[in-house]
Amino acid sequence: MTPRNSIRAEMYRLRGLFEAAGAQPVETAVLQPADVLLDLYGEDIRARAYVTSDALRGEQMLRPDFTVPVVQMHMEHGAEPACYTYSGEVFRRQEDDPDRANEYMQVGFELFDRANPAAADARVFALIYDILKPMNLRAATGDIGILMAAVDGLNTTERRKHALRRHIWRPKRFRALIDRFSGKIPAPESRVKLLAAEDPMANIGPMTGLRSETEIFQRINALKEDAAAAPISENEVALLDAVLAVRETSPYALERLLDIAVDLPEIRAAVERLEKRLEALASNGINVDQLDFEASYGRTQMEYYDGFVFGFYAESRPDLPPVASGGRYDALTRQLGQGREIPAVGGVIRPGLVVKLGGAA
Amino acid sequence: MSLKLGVPSKGRLMEKTFDWFAKRGIELGRSGSDREYAGYVQGIDNVELVLLSAGEIPRELSAGRIHLGVTGTDLIREKLALWEQQVAELAELGFGQADLVLAVPTCWVDVGTMDDLDAAAAAFRATHGFRLRIATKYHRQVRDFLREKGVADYQLVDSQGATEGTVKNETAEAVADITSSGDTLRANHLKILSDGLMLRSQATLFRSRKANMSKADAETLKELTGLLQL
């Protein structure tokens, strides 16, 4: 066990480095209203966060991360551009792995800046990279924005694209949808039967519950539309798979994605953002020739990153979670901003892991 | 010390458990008045009967306060994390069968599979502004199952009883509950999704992996498993 006081000392040291880089320190409450987090993450958050309650404020969660409260605080009364740092405990419920910590410290850096997203991405990454440099960690990077653009670029119905975008963070379900939409897997028997019926609503029986007859009727129409739509072509599935399979050092990954963009032009803008980011990283002193890029990276994390994503790993300790991680979350600010939005990127370091692995000083 | 056997303290589950042991030459029974939760064991020495609510037996096994216990597989999985590490299954007793299933209103003619449920949940949320509600008391198992199936845009609402009625009362859109015959579901105009079976449960004799056992207790267990032909 690493003593808590040495982790805390490391936490303050790291926060000092973030402050020296221009961040304003902020504090957030440990107890967060559950409804905001539930609305954002869905029921899965209950499996990851501790929920408690009282008669006055209802359900509350021990903060599973700082990002949500910091974004809320910024959206309410932040100036632009803004840059924050924070530090403290976060709490993650563990139900399957007794070796994973259910309470640990985090130090974070969040940047809200409209002017130049590529430069902002590079600034956050380079800052954390430089701090952790003495530890010789492996940096992993990816870009969810390229995956989203690839889905948008498919020649199929808007409804199918929406379903795929919704499940980008659930790779298994995403694959099942692709198999269905491309005709690789036939529609379930119950659906075939339903659509073959002269009047699918004929056997509806008594109505129960809140979901109305109109909603059921509308979904049947959507199913009919889907059954009539052409399957996603083999060629397009191959292109999507090619994007998902990109896993190279950054310059080769960029080259590969530019190649794919010839046949899937909708990803070009997103790939160009990657190109600009790599230039910005290089001008921040990062050797991008050695930097890994993996198109599928970040797909199984919490679903708010929608652009650049990164993580730092101790290669000798595959059993440990990443020492640091972060990414861009523009859509989260839109969701929490009640009509307003601001491009945002950030990252966190776990001081407990830094100390455990021998320190970064 | 003696070997402690936890058995449901009332109802059919208790009677059927007593029958199951009696058929194998071990007589279990309640002693004293009907209201007193004390029991006796005949046919083997050094075994103590502990009468408990079926819902508390998983916790007692996990804490090691009883060596053996009879309860449903559903309760073990719901209440114990990493249950295989805490208890071992000794025998399925062949009664108390119940399936944990996901059911939706029969009028949802467009929803037959979990895949449909996910799509319906997305549309429901867009229309109503909140996530589709599933009433259950089996939160962990249902959540794990829905995650495995890739269902999003739902929420679980707690229901400790009369769960099938929540849809009619419009406090939930779907239910995840235990059923043995499906009669209650049908009576409430609900149908089971074709791939909505989460678990087949039945009354099962479990051994605690956490309970300390003296040498004498270990011998008693050996004798008992011999008598029960396990």
Do B105 and B91 share a structural domain? Answer: no
Query: How confident is the model over B155-172, as a mean pLDDT?
Result: 93
B35: pLDDT strictly greater than 80 = no
Identity of the amino acid at A312: F
Domain of B54 in residue numbering reads as 3-96+203-227
A35, A43, A169, best to mutate vs chain B, most B CBs in 10 Å:
A43
Asked if A318 reaches chain B (Cβ–Cβ under 8 Å), the answer is no
Do B143 and B69 share a structural domain? Answer: no
The closest alpha carbon to B119, from A185, A163, A168, A156, belongs to A163
Average pLDDT over all residues of chain A: 93
Do B207 and B197 share a structural domain? Answer: no
Report A:34-93 residues touching B (Cβ under 8 A).
38, 42-44, 46-47
Does the distance separating the beta carbons of B108 and A211 come in below 8 Å? yes
Contacts of A97 (CB under 8 A, 6+ apart): none
B60: pLDDT strictly greater than 80 = yes
Write the CATH number for B120: 3.40.190.10
A266: pLDDT strictly greater than 70 = yes
How many domains does chain B divide into? 2
Do B60 and B124 share a structural domain? Answer: no
Chain A residue numbers with beta carbons less than 8 Å from the beta carbon of B124 are 211, 215
Do B159 and B208 share a structural domain? Answer: no
Do B114 and B186 share a structural domain? Answer: yes
Does the distance separating the beta carbons of A167 and B173 come in below 8 Å? no
Asked if B129 reaches chain A (Cβ–Cβ under 8 Å), the answer is no
Do B61 and B37 share a structural domain? Answer: yes
CA-based nearest residue in chain A for residue B147: A44
Do B219 and B141 share a structural domain? Answer: no
* A299 annotated ligand binder: yes
Do B174 and B121 share a structural domain? Answer: yes
Do B196 and B102 share a structural domain? Answer: yes
ipTM above 0.95, yes or no: no
* A65 annotated ligand binder: yes
Do B89 and B25 share a structural domain? Answer: yes
Angstrom CA distances, A203 to A141, A190, A196, B115, stand at 52, 13, 13, 21
pLDDT per position as a tens digit, B74-110: 899 989 988 989 999 999 999 999 899 999 999 999 9
Does the distance separating the beta carbons of B143 and A43 come in below 8 Å? yes
Average pLDDT over all residues of chain B: 93
Q: Cβ(A304)–Cβ(A329) under 8 Å?
A: yes
A307 in helix, strand or coil?
Answer: coil
What local confidence, expressed as pLDDT, does residue A1 receive?
A: 61
Do B192 and B113 share a structural domain? Answer: yes
